[in-house]
Structure formats: C-alpha cells, structure tokens
Structure 1
C-alpha cells in the first residue's frame, strides 16, 4: 500500500532503448530484487500522441501473468518520465543471438524448436486473454539468466472482445501478415504469421521476405509478403519446412492455428515440429534450455553505440495531462510483488509466526525487545511537534 516513487529503486546501467526512452537496470531498495526499468519520456509521448498506446501496454502487462511474457511489477512516474518496472532479461534478444553468436547466422534445430515452443506458450497466454500481440519478431523475444525466453514490448498489442474483429495496419515491415498490410479485419491470425517468420529466421539466419541489411522499399517487402513464396535451404528439416509453410500461408483461413480462434496455440503445438517437446514440463519451467547465457557477458550492443535521445522541443506539459498520469501511476502489481516477497525471503522476516516462532500463551513474545537490546536501531517514536 506504500506509494511507489523513484526513491523505491536504485538505478544502474542503461540496457538499451525503446520507442519513448531508455531501458536501464534497477533494484528495489527494500528487497534487493533486480528489474528492468523502461522509461517513457512524457514530452516524447505527448509529441507522438502516444498516450493511448502507453496506457494500453501498461494495462495489458498488468493483466498477464505468464513465465513466457515479461511481467510488470511496478509502475510509477517521475517529473519527466513514466516508468514500467519489468522482469529483467539479461540474456539479450534473439536477434542478437541469431546474428552475432555463431560462425554463421541462425540456430540449430534443437534450439529453434525450444525457443519456438516457449514463444508459442506466450502467444497462447495472450490469446486466451483475448489479446493479439501484433509485433512478434526476434528483437522482442528476450532471454533470461537461465536461457528461457519471454515475449516483451506489448506496445502494439490490443484486446479483442469475444466475437469481435479489429483492424489496424501496425507491426514491423517484413513480419506483418497479408491481411494486416491490406488493412482487413482480423483476430489472432497476424500473430501466427509473424510467429512463422520468427521460426523461419531462427533456422535460416535471415527473415523470409527480406535479407538482413538489404536495402529495399517498404512497398516491395509488402508485395513479397502478399505474393512471393519463401524459399527453403537444406537447414530445414521436413517438419521445420512444413510448419513454416503452414504458418506463412497467405490466407488466414489456410494458416496453421487460425481456425481455432483463441485456442489456435493448441493446434500449433500438435505439429510434428514440436514432437520432442514435453509441454507440461515446458509450461512448468522444468525443461533445461539448450543454451545458458554467461552471467559475465553482455548480450547487446555496446552501450556507447546506443543512440542518445534528442531533446524534445516545443512540447509543454500541463494539468490536462495529469489525469493520464494518474491512470498510469498505480504502484505495485500484486502477483509479481508477492512473488518478489517470497523469492527475496522478505515474507519470512515479516511474518511474526515464522519458523521457530509458533504462537504461545506467553504474550510477551509479541512485544518488541527493550531499546538496549535492539542493536543500533532505535524504534522509539518521535514526539509530534
């Protein structure tokens, strides 16, 4: 119930940058728990009319509680920024690993299958809540310290009421489904197309419709997505080629997972590409990842290479913005907060009747020790002035 402010945390090094500001490591002073703090600059939000997008991301993150999607633990505001305190993912993103960590780009099939399975579980969680993600790509899939992956950056996600359709030409060029490019109505089909692009890129070492660093106009990439069939090298097994072909079908009605609505993940998970996955163990976090990040390595661009944000000019904040800030600045999120208390053993320390302190009829055990036996701490109340 305590108010959460910037003083709740210690701030550490910059980890990267987002659309509205930088992302840095932070630590809760009271418990020592590490998180990632995503800072959204107020003036930058206002200049780009991003209030609705920022609020939707915060509200969606608050609803999701999955080991395959980054969790929101706290949200608070400073004078200049709105801050989302999220699960820290020290292992870098899949794009970095695909292109920078091997002799040649891409993963072996075992690793691609494992990451694909965990991402499919993340999409399943979102779809079950009626949320379409709309931005599934390697940059948005992050590794934790143990080698598990989570979906991040839900800025383009939207909640679809039961039985409704949405429309919106949003996403990343080369990963957007044909129905998104054509601005048609849809439900969850774009996520399965983008997921197909992700699986393809992990195996091939390049995206299906645009080579890495290829200079090509957006219109040409969109044309390829809508009209051109992807090609497959000998890196693909029969099962890998099969699932990619079914996920990258141009028409939603022909695409794997799209006929089952919110339950499309169940169909995708039954594909023979995932025959080695024991789903119950994976969902419980009991499967050993094929790659373990080195705790001493930094799996990201050099911080010095991260572009500095320019100063936003010509934008003034006023009292009309306060209502939006109040809806954003809601403090701690209950389930991640409870998990933090358990993981950091704070709950045991706060619990009067913890191990060895079973209640008795001796009422004196509930009383605090006298001041002289409290070490360097003095708990006596100050007199009111």
Structure 2
C-alpha cells in the first residue's frame, strides 16, 4: 500500500453533523442578550449602529439562523465549485479550485480577508472560469482559505504571517501545475497579493487588489480634494474605528474564547463589520443576503476558527515591509466605502507599474458579495489591462 506524500493534493468534502448543528441551535435558543442600546429611538440609518449591532437587528438574524437558514446548501455550493486540501510547511491548506475548459485561461489565485472567508468568492468563481461571453478573459481559479480560517489548519505555533502565507501560495500554485499566475485580493488578501507581486515576480504575472497600502510618510501636498478626503477617511478609520484590529493584534486568545464559545457573540463581532464596511444606508442586508452572511459566520463557527483567524492580526498587523516595491503590473480598484483608501500618487511609490486605476462610484469592503456581477466585470477589466501591459513590455 502506497503512503500518501505530504505534498499530495486531495479532494475535500465536509458535512456538518446533526450533533454540531443541534448544538448550534441549542446555543442560539439559550443565548443571553444584553438590554437594548441607548441610542435614541428616533435615530435612523448608520446612526442606529453607533453603539454596535442594534438588539432588534441581532434578534432577527439569530431567529433566522436558528429556524430558517440551511447550512447544507452552502456545503453543496462549495462541492459544486470543487474543494481540495494539501499540506504546506506542516499545515493543512484548504482551497477551492475551478479549472476552465478554455485553452486560453490564465491561472488566478484569489485571497480573502477577515472577517470574510472563501464565502466571499463562491458566487463569482464560475463566472470567472466559465464566462458566457466567449470573448471575456478567462481564468483557472484557485481560492485558498487563509491559515487559521475555515477548513485550513489552525497554526499551533507563531510564524504564519502574510510573508509566509504568500510563499505558501506560490508553493500551492506550483503543485497545481501553475508556474506563473495572476493574483487578486482585498483586506488581508490584498496584503498577501501585494507581497506575492513584490517578492515573487518570477511567478506572479501581475496583480489586482482593492487594498493598495501606501508606503509610510506620504505627504498630502499636491493631492486633489477627493484624494485628501480619502486620506482623512483612512486616518479616521485607523484612529477611531479599528479597535477590533488592535484587540485581535494584542489579545486574540482573549477575544477568541467568546468567538469560539458563543455563536451570538461571533455573529455580532462579524455583523458589526459587515454593517460598517458595506456601501449601504443602514443594514448590510441591503446588498448582501442573510444566507451568504450566515454561510460566512457558520463556517467560522463549525470550524472553531474565531480565535485562530484573529491571530493573523497578531502575526502581521501593520507589518507590511515599508520598502517592498511591486514591479509587476498592478490593477488597483478603490471602492468609495472601503475602510482604507490610498491616493494614486501615494500608491505609485509602491506599485511601480499601475496598468489600471479604477475608483467606482459605489461599493464597499466586500465587493464580491455586495455586487458580484460588477466585481467580476471590474476584475476582468483590471486583469485584462495587466495582461496587455505584459504583452506590450514583452514585445
């Protein structure tokens, strides 16, 4: 009998047990909730959320989670895309992989962030790999779960920061037969994608990112009024709305007890960010379905990764090398309601070959969930510009 190699890639399937789902429902029924927020009843829109997730909103989602939501539908969606697992540097890495039937397809790795997961991309993979338009750019799509997230392994020692993750992604793509590839990411996935483009130009053809972190020390002199507003918005976010990041960077174990033990606590911790970071007037459910948000939260719950996912902040918060430069072509999209927005003049200091710069009129931190069709179109256009830049420079 042949012993499987640690470098083997295996098909993966997950089915939550009745016992695990019954336990979830039992905890939801028994949840102890605080009193209502003291925000004035006359407040509306985002001001309703000024103290966090409103009690009435949370109760509504908890009720649906317990009586209306069907986790098994999400399991079926993942299986339809195709799931696999392999071991890299001693850690199990889970990923979706959808190969296109077209011979002109280019490999593409897409990396999610926090508090997202592979659920961010489940509705766009098929459109990218099997477009209806025969003239549209097409890709072999790989979507890994970050270490400590979802069905990937939970690191048992320090060291799994964004630099190591980027190196692991290169190894993953080589195992799949993709020596050269494109990369996309936002949030932590944007940091990993930046590192991929900067550290591994021999493998990475180009990148598309919704997070173009600038190098430190940039001046606001010469910026347009809109660019100054972007810089002020980002500064405001870091000063006044990033307590969650500081908590997870300094005490992931402490907050992790609540996130692993209480499904309502986990839901509130994640729902608060979806509400704040989406481009909506009030509720994130104006653009993202309750089912898809609960797919994401339930994935965290069933895999007990509330603590392990938080540790990416401990490993890598504010650690992107200030001297890192990206010389491969880059397409950058900045959505108006995202949490960090970098003026183009600043981005040019790190991203040396910006093939396409796009600032849509609407959209937030989770574009693939808020507007899947628009996200696919933007990603195609961005990567088409990257590929055209490669072709121009190589002739």
The TM-score, its normalising length taken from structure 2, stands at: 0.25
Larger radius of gyration: 1
More helix by share: 2
TM-score under structure 1 length normalisation: 0.25
